[in-house]
Structure 1
């Protein structure tokens, strides 16, 4: 269901909520550069089916409300342009608002995809809200790899991701030896999205199992 959040600076943004309202484990799910679209709602609903309370904030509401994009070249260009208009501090304010909307007393995690994978990393390094963070193909992680995580972190990358070269993955691994990092052979960027041409079902299923196992370990 759709809800409204209020960030610390007074900004009001939409979000997608799913899962049991009194769950013991809860997640902030962070969008790609395509908004809280059909794919992201499916991701949320899949976690909800595993018993998690989930909130997925509409980060683009800072510049344009209710954005839902597809995966064609024009959508990529528009998503990138929207992302560039939002400061990291504003993103984190909205992430904090989403975390606050999760059930009181639940152990909270954060998981993100594409741009959201980078934001999930920031959730680990720039917030004290989360007990675990999982990052799927976050292209901006390498640039902020020297930040200090405050919770356990797991990352997933595609071997053939043209936007995240393996040299970046190895740089992250060297900077963060305590982070659990998986690379999926033959997988490209967005391999976990069933609406992309790069979708790789076997890799997506394995990454999801590892993600669920990771959160089960760290969120209790």
Structure 2
């Protein structure tokens, strides 16, 4: 990919934390805050950051587990899954939202960022992208298989920015009735669009997982680029 990447440091409210920065060719473009799965800013998330940088965006992926250890990076075997769940359960979601706010400010301050800033999140990061939209921290948000959004629908009325949600029809973690409840909560919000991909499971975008489905990942990436292109 024709991109440049490195880690930078961000000043948070209660300490400093790292974030992975991926720049497009020429170093300039709209900004994206990329929000990790429960596995940290691992090679998959860095690859996604590089991908969107190649698409023309300045991408910043904050290390949201920094309070438990800097740059924790996990894979997808059973032991790492167990550790990832422990890290997620130990993470204060309110503090993570504060970290996202600091990341957005740091991204907007970069000389190469032109125009608006969006958020894209995966799994746990998908839930956080939803919160970022409800908090008004970003100008647009996209959430891939955001676990737990169905339990946070009291915030639906607070979403006043364009929001795009991606789900797999075979996601055992986010069943069809949960997606239906989410859709109902946004019935009257024309700025929210929901995509459900046939034969796709949880994590369908991650080519490091057995659940990866290339067709769904390609469709979702295309839908995301169209959405971002319209709103950023």
- Band the TM-score falls in, shorter-chain normalisation: over 0.9
1:22: Cα distance to partner?
5.5
Partner of 2:3: none
Query: When the two structures are superposed, what TM-score results if normalisation uses the length of structure 1?
Result: 0.95
Quick one: which of 191, 203, 206 aligns to 2:216? 203
d(CA) in 2 for partners of 1:30 and 1:52? 15
d(CA) in 2 for partners of 1:22 and 1:16? 15
Partner of 1:18: 22
Quick one: which of 83, 95, 107 aligns to 1:90? 95
* 1:163-192, Cα deviation, whole Å (9 max, x unpaired): 000100000000112220011000000000
Q: Contact 1:53–1:103 at 8 Å: present in 2 too?
A: no
Partner of 2:175: 165
Unmatched tracts of structure 1, length 5 or more: none
Are 2:193 and 1:180 equivalent residues in the alignment?
A: yes
1:10: Cα distance to partner?
2.8
Aligned-residue CA RMSD (Å)? 1.3
* 1:13-48, Cα deviation, whole Å (9 max, x unpaired): 111001148634110000000000000000000000
SS at match of 2:65: helix
1:106: Cα distance to partner?
2.9
Partner of 1:99: 104
Unmatched tracts of structure 2, length 5 or more: 1-5
Structure 1 segments, 4+ long, off by >4 Å, are none
Query: When the two structures are superposed, what TM-score results if normalisation uses the length of structure 2?
Result: 0.90
Partner of 1:120: 129
Partner of 1:155: 165
Quick one: which of 58, 64, 70 aligns to 2:69? 64
